[in-house]
Structure 1
């Protein structure tokens, strides 16, 4: 029985990562393939080739992103984007949603942004209990005036799904900045502490 249990656990360790990876990739490709619906039916790869080949939606999505990025990078494109933003901000309800999403996306994807660039240790949900969090910025405006002391905004992700979590503001002096990368911190969170990042003090310097 001990041998059977060992073989079963070994099989799970080999199969589960591959199955989950394949499932996630299949979900991503299937979702992006929906972008093919913007093409005329006669231009669909399934119609042209006579057989379904997954992945054309990924290529189309990348092309759209490249074209939009190229257009928005020049003077005329920036003016067009500004005109579109001004138009959306005139629409009630829509402007509130759009402005919030745009601010978050600008913070996350901007090359000059600092969101999710630093992993820290914070005491959460009570003093004496520590968890890994990510610095997303600093309080400002009325919130900063009320807090007075130097605070930072942090995102505390849940385990094993880091897409859910809590936004909290803590004193900067109460945060312990970690040397691990954001990727390593995410792996640590998703694995529920099983995949521990390497200790930087034990890594030999490269020659």
Structure 2
């Protein structure tokens, strides 16, 4: 029992500690690079320096890049991305980071609902996400209402595939997108303790 409590506490603390460590590390890095560079000239010209200047400038740069990206409809961002991808070693680092960031900040908003579908064969269910109602081209051919379902890979939900499923075969889950993603990332280890099925829905309790 004590071992289980200890492991549970450790598992809860490790992500928090790593997150704090990374954030503080990034702030210190920005302060050392930008802050020291600019404070050197401030000290020479004005006779004083500003603590934490690098962090402030880094935040401003992020907002400026965001504004430029929105105004230019991401043209500047796409140009920089194409430039970075030309370098063999750098692109191997950039692409995985880019995909992760895109998923965390943008793609999740396109996932409307966590669902279960009977796939890849009868009796086996896959956890997926409703992304949209299938287009009329699909529905007109089959003569029924269809949903587009994204089935993510585990443990990395950054990749996966899309299937088209009839409305009556989609089981909606009363859980949030983030909880479903945590279940996928953990490979099912972070598992709800119980399922309750009622009126075509599955809910966790």
TM-score category by the smaller chain?
0.5 to 0.7
Counterpart among 166, 172, 179 of residue 177 in structure 1: 172
Q: Could you tell me which residue of structure 2 aligns to residue 11 of structure 1?
A: 6
Q: Could you tell me which residue of structure 1 aligns to residue 34 of structure 2?
A: 39
Give the 3-state SS of the residue equivalent to 1:170 in structure 2: strand
Closer, same or farther: CA 85–187 of 1 in aligned 2, 3 Å: closer
Closer, same or farther: CA 198–176 of 1 in aligned 2, 3 Å: closer
Q: How do residues 14-25 of structure 1 correspond to structure 2 at under 5 angstroms?
A: 14-25=9-20
Closer, same or farther: CA 8–181 of 1 in aligned 2, 3 Å: closer
- TM-superposed deviation, 1:18: 0.3
- Preserved CA contact (<8 Å) 1:180 1:197: no
Counterpart among 103, 116, 126 of residue 111 in structure 2: 116
Q: Could you tell me which residue of structure 2 aligns to residue 68 of structure 1?
A: 65
Q: Could you tell me which residue of structure 2 aligns to residue 131 of structure 1?
A: 126
Q: How do residues 49-198 of structure 1 correspond to structure 2 at under 5 angstroms?
A: 61-71=58-68, 78=71, 80-81=72-73, 84=76, 109=106, 115-137=110-132, 144=137, 148-149=141-142, 150-159=145-154, 161-173=155-167, 174-190=169-185, 192=188, 194-196=191-193
- Tell me, in whole angstroms, the C-alpha distance in 2 between the residues paired with 1:166 and 1:62: 33
- TM-superposed deviation, 1:120: 1.1
The normalised TM-score by structure 1 is 0.53
- Preserved CA contact (<8 Å) 1:121 1:132: yes
Listed one character per residue, the Cα deviations across residues 152-200 of structure 1 (whole Å, up to 9, x for unaligned) are 33322344x3435521212232322223221232344445252358869
RMSD over aligned CA atoms reads 5.0
Closer, same or farther: CA 131–28 of 1 in aligned 2, 3 Å: farther
Closer, same or farther: CA 72–121 of 1 in aligned 2, 3 Å: same
